[in-house]
Structure 1
Amino acid sequence: MVIGTIADTLTRGVESVTGTVSGAFAEPTIRLGVTGLSGAGKTVFITALVANLLDRGRMPQLVAQAEGRILSAYLQPQPDDTIPRFDYETHLAQLTSDSPRWPEGTRAVSQLRLSLRLRPAGLLAGLQGPRKVHLDIVDYPGEWLLDLGLMDKTYGQWSDRMLTRLPHRPGGAKVAEALRAEDARAPFDESRARTLAQTYTTALHQARRAGFSDCSPGRFLLPGEMEGSPALTFAPLPPDPSAPRNSLWREMERRFEAYKRRIVKPFFRDHFARIDRQVVLVDALGAIHAGPQALEDLRATMADILTAFRPGANAFLSQIFRGKRVERILFAATKADHLHHSQHARLTAIMEALTRDARDRARFSGAETQAMAIASLRATTEATLPHKGETLDVVQGTLLDADNTRGKQAAFHPGALPDDPARLLAPAREGAETWLDEDYAIMRFAPARLSLKPGEGPPHIRLDRAAQFLFGDRL
């Protein structure tokens, strides 16, 4: 596979040797990748995780904490001088102020190092002094992760895929029709290329707002300093392998290859290929609310994401000879606090079904995987209210208005998720446009005002269990 070839270059091999040897005989480092598509809550996850590792009163499911072996935790400068630091302090201040607000989402790669001082475990613990373990958290946009799947595709293959998918998305049919009608054999014209790229980019933004997941290329949504560059000025066109030189098709093909070579490949080499633990955050509730087609798109995207990982066991010698492999992958359905706890098991079951193909592939390669429903920062409380002569389990919180300001207090019941995930996934696979039984509503809640006791981190749901699965074994 092309991605595997990239990661196993000589440069990567030398880095593996030096990094592995120093890590094995000095202070071990766990490199945790955090990603998820827009709105899944990456920034809040990292902020809440770090806050709850610094003040561990709400982390009973982290075994090292429960056993009293974590002596201290502290932040250090990130080890990579060329990567921006994750702005933990600013994000925490926004979440814990008198008028708390959600921080801005991830727009580029950032990193944070948290070091833990631990008392050893086992029979020889009394003969050993405390040891250090470094947790390097790498935050990157999930949209960029989707780009890794482009490495195995030609421009023609990618174009055919996207032109097939566009008609099933809001407003996408007209865009697909216009792109298919374009004369790809005509001489290349820069202004025409920019118009086509902008039209396609607008369709991607519209699809993302409608809850669809596969919106590649990811840099079209988050271009950063690359905005307007030729590598980001192309669009899918009907495959035409016989198109002449200097035609619109050939130049689009060249720019697609430049995008892979200049943008996707360096990201994989410099950041992604060095990760050994990964959490993929998923707004499954948002996809369910958006409808069956959005849910099926999410399922297919989760399967595609695993083609970008290099899952497998991180044995010492295998690290030296073939580079690191992702050992553990957690697929976490976020915003579990939008549901009463009586429905959390159903959300977890839906997440397991959504990621079944992806998790089976990872397990076959030797990686451990798990699906879980979490809330990085709990924004609601639970209540049971009378309703039409019966009782209804609801969540209560402060609503977020359309302009992102704090609104009124409200109690909310989103609809009962089915016991059997197939009741959602089957119609989604069959192309249904709406749910037959029930519409699944969602609300946007503002962060709750917090009053924390000394030693307590922000309230959450299963963040400690997520931490235990991701790196508890290394503590």
Structure 2
Amino acid sequence: MLNTEISAKGAVLVISAIADSLTRQVEAVGDTLSETFFEPVIRLGVTGLARSGKTVFITSLIANLMDRGRMPQLVAAADGRISAAYLQPQPDDTIARFDFETHLAALTAPAPHWPDSTRTISELRLSLRVRPTGLLSGLQGPRTVHLDIVDYPGEWLLDLGLLDKTYDQWSTDVLARIDKRACAQGFMERARAADPAAAFDEPLAQDLAKRFTAYLNDARKAGFSDCTPGRFLLPGDLAGSPVLTFAPVPLLGASRRGSLHREMERRFEAYKSRVVKPFFRDHFARIDRQVVLVDALGAIHSGPEAVEDMRRAMADILSAFRPGRNAFLSRLLMGHRVERILFAATKADHLHHTQHTRLSAIMEALTREARDRADFAGAHTQALAIASLRATVEETLDHDGKTLDCVRGTLLDSGKRAAFYPGELPEDPARLLSPARSGAQKWLDGDYAVMNFAPAPLVLKPGEGPPHIRLDRAAQFLIGDKL
């Protein structure tokens, strides 16, 4: 009887895999025909880790593509080949629309404020009328290129790494990594006291999951990036369900049926199959270009451990762009790969422009391992320091006989105007990454401050989008070749 059940389950898995494969092939053929004979579509995925500014990035990008006066590095805009840009209904009626108008109103109000962050997947379509170039351009009229922007939480992307792991592998890795973190001690004490081999107890499982979720929220606030499973932080309508009621527990010896460990393992597998896989099947597998936004300055301020954790997270994120690594993902993508990936260090306006090159170099180094993996898979990658919306002005001050390159803006907590000097970033990124990789608890030769600024009041001329730093370069890398 047991063998029959196993065979039946195996057959179901095979049929499911074949169905997924056929579905992706049909969709791929349809996409190819649409782009060849009708109007090309660029699906741009935008994701980022906590406090990286996804909502502001998308809002400013759309606004600056519609009014292109501040986009000189976007070649099609500089050449005047984009004759119009307009919003259209998104093609997927099952996904929430990105609320561009509300977010832009927040940034351009007389008393501007940062818009609320999105907590689930959303989408928006921007259509561009572009005049062709080349020898035959005079014989062709303008064409329409659709830009479908898909916004989703970075924690969901990190979840892909779970597909390659068993429950025991995941538990061992998580418990070893967080064992000495202060914000994890409440959960660790409860996890050590639990007996994984004991009979399953639902109240205990709920208590462990609740404590683990509290740890993940505290870890994110502390600047850590490895906050998975991502839906524990953004549960939505899954809140309280068994698929979100598990946690890592240590196991010595074999697991037995009916035990706490066995049920935790079952729920972990259910999370992978019913939460993680559907997201990648329905949304991620169709993305052509990708932006990963990173609050590198926030991680540097939080200390070496947060920087090393961010470096590992960047490497894990790239597993999503390596379809050969995971059997499920390889079948799912059917040869479709993300063509270009931009790693963007946000909030460059918190630094004087003289330090932007150093921030870019640090971003390059932080993502080196991740980018090497993506380049090996055939994707073009780039790292930039950007500010989606410039909230400061630059200022040079004399202090104790020294000249300091500062930025001045409105402080978010007090509303007062203040000049800010965050400290000088090192020319050599190794001075940050080496102590981070060696497990240092604090920086030995500097303390890097962070200040939160409110958006500045905007006075926009006709044809101008919101002020930014290198958003036009980001757009050129991501979509310039398609225009």
Q: What TM-score does the superposition give when structure 1 sets the normalisation length?
A: 0.95
SS in 2 for 1:273: helix
Q: Quick check: 1:239 aligned with 2:251? A: yes
Question: Is the 8 Å Cα contact of residues 170 and 206 (structure 1) preserved in structure 2?
Answer: no
User: What amino acid sits opposite 1:140 in the alignment?
Assistant: Y
Which residue in the other structure is 1:364 paired with? 376
Report the alpha carbon displacement of residue 18 of structure 1 after superposing the two structures with TM: 1.1
Partner of 1:69: 81
Separation in 2 of the partners of 1:423 and 1:22? 50
Which stretches in structure 1 are left out of the alignment for 5+ residues?
313-317
**C-alpha displacement at 1:218, in angstroms?**
0.4
The equivalent of 1:99 in structure 2 is 111
Instruction: Answer whether contact 2:24 2:333 (CA < 8 A) is retained.
Output: no
Question: Is residue 430 of structure 1 aligned with residue 438 of structure 2?
Answer: yes
- 1:172 CA displacement: 1.6
SS of match in other structure, 1:16: helix
Which residue of the partner structure matches residue 306 of structure 1? 318
For 1:471, the equivalent position in structure 2 comes to 479
For the aligned residue pairs, the C-alpha RMSD in angstroms reads: 1.9
Q: Cα deviation per residue 1:307-340 (whole Å; 9 max; x = unaligned)?
A: 012479xxxxx99993421000000000000000
Contact 2:206 2:246 in 1 (8 A): yes
| Contact 2:187–2:208 under 8 Å retained in 1 | no
Q: How many Å separate the matches in 2 of 1:459 and 1:207?
A: 33
Q: CA deviation at 1:241?
A: 5.9
Contact 1:20/1:319 (8 A) holds in 2: no
User: Quick check: 1:188 aligned with 2:188?
Assistant: no
Off by >6 Å, runs of 4+ in structure 1: 5-8, 318-321
2-structure distance, mates of 1:320, 1:157: 24
Give the match's secondary structure for 1:434.
Answer: coil
Give secondary structure in 1 for the equivalent of 2:87: strand
Code of the aligned partner of 1:304: D
Match of 2:120 in 1: 108
- 1:146 maps to which residue? 158
Counterpart residue number, 1:408: 416
- Aligned residue number for residue 429 of structure 2: 421
Structure 2 distance, partners of 1:247, 1:338, is 52
Residue 393 of structure 1: which of 401, 405, 409 is its match? Answer: 405
Counterpart in the other structure of 2:292: 280
- Secondary structure of the residue aligned to 1:214 is coil
Aligned to 2:8: none
| Partner deviation per Cα, 1:15-46 (whole Å, 9 max, x = no partner) | 11111112222100000000001210000000
CA distance in 2, matches of 1:166, 1:22: 48
- Specify whether residues 323 and 79 from structure 1 end up closer, same or farther in structure 2 by C-alpha distance, changes over 3 A only: farther
Letter in 2 for 1:238: P
Cα distance in 1 between the residues matched to 2:432 and 2:252: 38
Q: Distance in 2 between matches of 1:308 and 1:339?
A: 31
In the alignment, the residues of structure 2 paired with residue 60 and residue 30 of structure 1 have an alpha-carbon distance, to the nearest angstrom, of: 21
Give the direction of change, closer, same or farther, for the CA distance of 1:97–1:47 in structure 2 (3 Å limit).
same
Shift of 1:14: 1.3
For residues 267-293 of structure 1, the C-alpha deviation after alignment (integer angstroms, 9 at most, x for no partner) is 000001110100000000000000000
SS in 2 for 1:306: helix
Q: CA deviation at 1:446?
A: 0.3
Alpha-carbon offset, residue 106 of structure 1: 2.1
Work out whether residues 157 and 320 of structure 2, in 8 Å CA contact, stay in contact via their aligned partners in 1: yes
Specify the code of the residue in structure 2 equivalent to 1:75: L
1:167 positional shift: 2.1
Residue in structure 1 matching 2:309, options 286, 292, 297 = 297
Q: After superposition, where does 1:238-387 map in structure 2 within 5 Å?
A: 238-240=250-252, 242-310=254-322, 322-387=334-399
Structure 1 equivalent of residue 136 of structure 2: 124
SS of 2:406 mapped into structure 1: strand
- Name the CA distance, whole Å, in 2 between partners of 1:7 and 1:410: 59
For the Cα contact (< 8 Å) 2:21–2:334, is it kept in 1?
Answer: no
Match of 1:211 among 214, 217, 223: 223
Per-residue CA shift, 1:230-258, capped at 9, x if unaligned?
00000001135622111110100000001
* 1:189 Cα deviation after fit: 1.1
Q: 1:321 to 1:268 in 2, by over 3 A?
A: closer
Give the whole-Å Cα distance in 1 for the aligned partners of 2:314 and 2:213.
22
Q: Is the 2:24–2:332 Cα contact (8 Å) retained in structure 1?
A: no
Please say if residues 276 and 328 of structure 1, whose CA atoms lie closer than 8 Å, have aligned partners that are also in contact. yes
Map Cα deviations across residues 77-103 of structure 1 (whole Å, 9 max, x no partner).
000010110000000000100111111
Query: Quick one: which amino acid aligns to residue 416 of structure 2?
Result: K
Alpha-carbon distance in structure 1 between the residues aligned to 2:100 and 2:174: 37
1:52 — aligned with what?
Answer: 64
Equivalent position to 2:48, from 28, 36, 40: 36
Change in Cα spacing, 1:47 to 1:152, as seen in structure 2 (3 Å) is same
Letter in 2 for 1:300: R
Secondary structure of 2:124's counterpart equals strand
- SS in structure 2 opposite 1:308? helix
Measure how far apart 1:105 and its partner are: 1.2
Pairing partner for 1:198 from 189, 194, 210: 210
Measure the CA separation in 2 of the matches of 1:466 and 1:8: 34
- Aligned partner of 2:57: which letter? F
The residue aligned with 1:16 is 28
CA 1:319–1:429: 2 relative to 1, 3 Å: closer
- Give how far 1:168 is off: 3.7
How big is each residue's C-alpha offset from its partner over 1:401-452, in whole Å with a ceiling of 9 and x where there is no partner? 1xxxx51110000000000000000000000000001110000000000000
Matching residue's letter, 1:199: R
Identity of aligned residues (%): 72
The answer to whether the 8 Å contact 2:20/2:332 transfers is: no
Mark the CA change 1:169 to 1:140 in structure 2 (over 3 Å): closer, same or farther. Answer: same
Change (3 A) 1:463 1:162: same
Give a deviation string over 1:153-209, Cα, whole Å, max 9, x none.
111011011101112423224522431331001111111110000011111111111
Change (3 A) 1:17 1:356: same
Give the direction of change, closer, same or farther, for the CA distance of 1:162–1:319 in structure 2 (3 Å limit): closer
